[in-house]
Amino acid sequence: MSLLTLTLMLVNGLLLVSTLGIVYPLSILYAMGRVSLWATFFCYCGAVFGFLNYGKVMNTPPPWY
């Protein structure tokens, strides 16, 4: 996960470049990186706390409400 975070920091720095040829691909990489960051977070929480406690950790009500 730290590799993903470092890559996102690098992409943020490169987005400051004003060349349009590089901004478009970096914007797509940035969007994919943000989605990947959230996906790894939720997978980590599910793996660590288990399926039964996942709703408690994510602050969602149980399905029987």
- What are the residue boundaries of the structural domains of the chain, listed by start? 2-57
The Cα 6–Cα 12 span in angstroms is 10
State pTM to two decimals.
0.62
65 residues of the chain, pLDDT tens digit each = 578 788 888 888 888 887 888 888 888 888 888 888 888 888 888 888 887 777 777 776 666 65
Nearest Cα residue to 10 out of 28, 26, 32, 31 = 26
Q: Are 8 and 37 in contact (CB under 8 A)?
A: yes
The Cα 46–Cα 48 span in angstroms is 6
DSSP 8: H
Q: What is the pLDDT of residue 1?
A: 59
* Number of Cα atoms under 13 Å in the Cβ half of residue 43: 7
